[in-house]
Amino acid sequence: MGRGSSLLAGAVLPALMAALVFGGWEAAVWFFAVPKIVLPPPSAIVLALIEALGSSEFHWNLLITLWEIVAGFALGALGGLLLGFLVALSPLAERLVYPYIVAFQTLPKVAVAPIIVIWFGYGLSSKIIITATIAFFPLLANTIMGLRAAPADQIEMLVSCTATRWQVFRMVRLMAALPYIFVGLDVAIVLSVIGAIVGEFVGAKAGLGFMLMQKNFNFDMAGTFAILVVLSLIGVALHAIVQTVQRRVIFWMNIRGDRPVSL
Amino acid sequence: MPQDGAFLRIHQVAKTYTARDGSSIQALRAIDLDIGEGEFVTLLGPSGCGKSTLLKILAGLLPRSAGEVTVQGRSLAGPSRALGVVFQAPVLLPWLTILENVLVPAKVQRIDPPLAAARARELLAMTELTGFENRYPFELSGGMQQRVGICRALVHDPAILLMDEPFGALDAMTRETMNEELQRIWQERRKTVLLVTHSIPEAIYLADRVVVMAPRPGHIVEVLPVDLPRPRTLEMQNTPEFGRYVSHLRGHFRAGGMLTA
């Protein structure tokens, strides 16, 4: 009985819900004769998506945006991670550097993006750097918090058997920080998609954000929506990759059922 | 060797904390205790009598305010390889297997890995944990986890085992079994053991001598030798001799107003 109802909730109900939402949308567009440049019906979006998937122009732009996301994420995450270690390990570094980091974080990155484009040009590098500035902070904050999160009794246990500071760091603090670092990675990878698109909006010659602007200018609403669908799929896929790696790396958390809060 | 043959000597050890408002709180006052090699001593007292503080000072986890601790005449400052510590909670690292957890002190102290692994397996066999080497802590019950904690405290072959209410978190039945097992381990390994407890029967059952402590500030009230034959059995707890020890010790806490009811 319980199994049947969970199957209903697991597969049948979501499918029903999707049919209701998209069917209702489609019907509403036809029924109220909504102009195509205001709201395209789902069927038009699907057609636009199929057309895009077959075009080499789309492939090229997709590849560029993916590269911006992944490279920017890697750069920002690595920077946040390294600076996080430095701040967590050195009180001096914390006092010297942290105020600037917080001040920088309060700036909306969208407002900084034009400056970065002027400095680094209209090519890929400015988008990668904008993405990196966005991916940086979640890693920094979570690394610092994680490296301080090791339970006192685990540290005491190691100290009691004559462990040095470095051994305590390596054997406990680092491992205890991993769940926090993964939360940071998860937040950063999703924000990286936004970073790359913001960068392309400010000034670009290629990429999905650039394509989106073009289609928008041409009032190609179905095409615009198709790209939005692709962007959200990219986010979902990258998030899923981080989650899969996380489950493998911090296996002890998932089994105990107290996994950290995550996106 | 020290002149009088004390293996672990605690001499005039005191601990004073400074409170936030600047006033000082005395947690331990002039503790004197000599423990012989291979002796099993239990520290008995109500919460707040400083028994855990004393154990933490011995383990090198807390600095003492005054006094001296020597092992075989050598002064003890900070954590030492001569000590193995068992905590109230098992404190296993969840990302390590049982065998790896037992090997933590060996890794810290850079003990030859094959030698350490052989010793760890032997200890796991002694505590009936063979077959669990490659499991993770969350797959084990609380009693089994605490047994792993004991193996870990013994893996570097320390001369002295310090135990801070090691079975306090376990249910009464498991606790009795663990006491039996601890006695067996002690008889096989002949370590010097100092065990903190607030259970009167546990203190008597395990000890060669029971050290009774009282609070405000923590001090020793009595050192009571337990003259019961070894190996002791759980049934022994129902004998009149055992009962006399229990009522004698309980008298302390009643008289001092430390125990209500």
DSSP labels for chain A? -HHHHHHIIIIIHHHHHHHHHHHHHHHHHHHTT--TTT---HHHHHHHHHHHHT-HHHHHHHHHHHHHHHHHHHHHHHHHHHHHHHHHH-HHHHHHHHHHHHHHHHS-HHHHHHHHHHHH-SSHHHHHHHHHHHHHHHHHHHHHHHHT-S-HHHHHHHHHTT--HHHHIIIIIHHHHHHHHHHHHHHHHHHHHHHHHHHHHHS-SSSHHHHHHHHHHTT-HHHHHHHHHHHHHHHHHHHHHHHHHHHHHTHHHHHHT-PPP--
Looking at chain B from residue 149 to 188, which residues have their Cβ under 8 Å from any Cβ of chain A?
156
| Predicted local confidence at residue B20, as pLDDT | 82
In chain B, what percentage of residues exceed pLDDT 90?
48
User: Is the CB of A156 less than 8 angstroms away from the CB of B61?
Assistant: yes
Calpha distance B63→B83 (Å, rounded):
16
| ipTM summary value | 0.87
User: Is the CB of A154 less than 8 angstroms away from the CB of B89?
Assistant: no
Instruction: Sort out which chain A residues have CB atoms less than 8 A from B91's CB and list them.
Output: 153-154, 156-157
Looking at chain B from residue 109 to 138, which residues have their Cβ under 8 Å from any Cβ of chain A?
109, 136, 138
Name the minimum distance, in Å, from the CA of A155 to any CA of chain B. Answer: 10
- CA closest to B60 among chain A residues: A160
Q: Which of A95-99, A116-120, A242-246 has the lowest mean pLDDT?
A: A95-99
Give the tokens for residue A135. Answer: 């991916």
pLDDT digits (tens, 9 = 90+) for A17-29: 999 999 999 999 9
Name the minimum distance, in Å, from the CA of B90 to any CA of chain A. Answer: 10
User: Which one of B87, B104, B110 would you mutate to disrupt binding with A, by most A Cβ within 10 Å of its Cβ?
Assistant: B104
pLDDT digits (tens, 9 = 90+) for A192-210: 999 999 999 988 889 999 9
User: Is the CB of A157 less than 8 angstroms away from the CB of B91?
Assistant: yes
User: Is the CB of B89 less than 8 angstroms away from the CB of A158?
Assistant: no
- CA closest to A163 among chain B residues: B108
- CA closest to A158 among chain B residues: B105
| Predicted local confidence at residue A263, as pLDDT | 41
In chain A, what percentage of residues exceed pLDDT 90?
66
Name the minimum distance, in Å, from the CA of B105 to any CA of chain A. Answer: 6
**Where do the structural domains in chain B lie, given as residue ranges?**
92-153
User: How many CB contacts within 8 angstroms connect chain A with chain B?
Assistant: 58
3-class SS of residue B220: strand
Q: In the predicted model, is pLDDT for residue A98 greater than 80?
A: yes
pTM of the model: 0.82
- CA closest to B152 among chain A residues: A161
Task: Flag whether residue B79 sits within 8 Å of chain A, measured between CB atoms.
Answer: yes
pLDDT digits (tens, 9 = 90+) for B86-102: 998 999 999 999 999 99
